[in-house]
Amino acid sequence: MRQIYIAMMDAIIFVQETASGWQLQELSPDGQPQCLLTDTTNANGIYCGTYDNGLWYSADGGQTWQQRGTEILYPTITALATSHIHDSEQTPLLWAGTRPGAIFCSEDNGLTWKERWHISPGANMPETPNAAAQINQHSIRWIEPTRENKDHLFMIIEQGGIRKSTDGGYSWERVSAVEELDGHVVKIHPHTPQHIYHTTGGSNPRFLPQFRLRIPPFHPRVIMRQGGYYESTDGGDNWQEQTAGLEQHHYLWSIAIDPADPNTMIAAAAIGFIQAHDPTFATSYLLRRTNNGPWQRSETGLPQARGSLIATVETTEAEPGTFYLASNHGLFRSQDAGLTWQHLTPQWPERYRKQHVQQMVIR
């Protein structure tokens, strides 16, 4: 039966498929969840990175938690990942990204951690008033190990762009063909490891305030007018912007790719960061793209865009053609590659209606 962990802003929701339907349970690691990672060596193991309280691990599906990673120098854990190991006797490498921006690695299944890299003064980063501000401004938004070489990884630095390492995370280079700094997610297709997908917050913003006859009367609108999505089919050496059909929705957040088809994908989008993340002005959409065609809205079975904080979408290799979506409205599933959606959690707690989903993992 499928098990899904959803990190909200004040708890983790464990959603489990049972013979009588989908059931919810709230889990409470010691801190505000920021990111999740399932343990590939323990069917009930899960890691949770928190805001300002470090890394936590549960060996029993989230019922009890223990702190891990006391060697990680910074208390805010913003990204977690596992290397793809083809040898069953080899321990996978675990990766953790932090704020301030640094990369840590564990070679013993999360028991101990060592720093591999950190942002230093003079690094190729956007200008800030001083070195201390530069270091503290940026966090590691995403880590994506490649599927062919454990020493090759991609990462995204918040307001620092996408980078690639070919030496096990000790050094990183900007992927120069992608100029947008507000990177969000980079993913690699499981069966075509040279095919890489990258969402960003878009570029060329325009501020268009809107007045209305209700509270608040001022409706801020920052519209991103270009960019938002890039693809590489050669392992990240060359990238192509693929924005046909986005219209005004160039702020792309999460993305999921059909495990059975590298040319079918779902992405969460908005006109800009305010409509994506602010509960007062939330308006976000779900977009679908197939066969290298234009992006099109995927709406059947989903709540209306207004009132929807930008969603997190995921897939699992065990269910080709199936997508999962988590948002402030609950958990949804599409079993027809994103054409229609079914609401799995009508009992969604009311307080989550104004909370942003931090991350979702599927087991």
Q: What is the pLDDT of residues 183-241, one digit of tens each?
A: 999 999 999 999 999 999 999 999 887 776 667 677 778 999 999 999 999 999 999 99
| pLDDT of residue 342 exceeding 50 | yes
- Residue 125's pLDDT is what? 54
What percentage of residues in the chain have a pLDDT greater than 70? 93
Give the Å distances, CA to CA, from 202 to 230, 240, 241, 283, 289. 11, 14, 11, 16, 18
- Residue 32's pLDDT is what? 97
Do 81 and 46 touch, CB atoms closer than 8 A? no
| pLDDT of residue 15 exceeding 90 | yes
Residue 87 pLDDT class (50, 70, 90 cuts): low
Residue 124 pLDDT class (50, 70, 90 cuts): low
Residue 119 pLDDT class (50, 70, 90 cuts): very high
Bond preceding residue 100 cis, omega within 30 of 0: yes
- Residue 131's pLDDT is what? 43
- Domains recognised in the chain with CATH numbers: 3-362 (2.130.10.10)
Q: Which residues of 71-96 are buried (b: 16+ CB within 10 A; e: fewer)?
A: ebebebbbbbbbbbeeeeeeebbbbb
CA distance 181 to 160: 5
CA distance 311 to 32: 19
**Residue in the block written with tokens 């980063």:** 125
pTM for this entry:
0.94
> Containing H/E element for 4?
strand 3-7
Q: Nearest 5 degrees, angle CA 53-CA 324-CA 363? A: 60
Task: Work out the mean pLDDT of the chain and round it to a whole number.
Answer: 92
| pLDDT of residue 249 exceeding 80 | yes
CA distance 252 to 228: 5
| pLDDT of residue 127 exceeding 50 | no
Torsion over CA: 308, 144, 338, 266 (sign) = positive
Question: Which candidate, 161, 172, 165, places its Cα nearest to that of 150?
Answer: 165
- Residue 295's pLDDT is what? 98
Do 283 and 306 touch, CB atoms closer than 8 A? yes
| pLDDT of residue 133 exceeding 70 | no
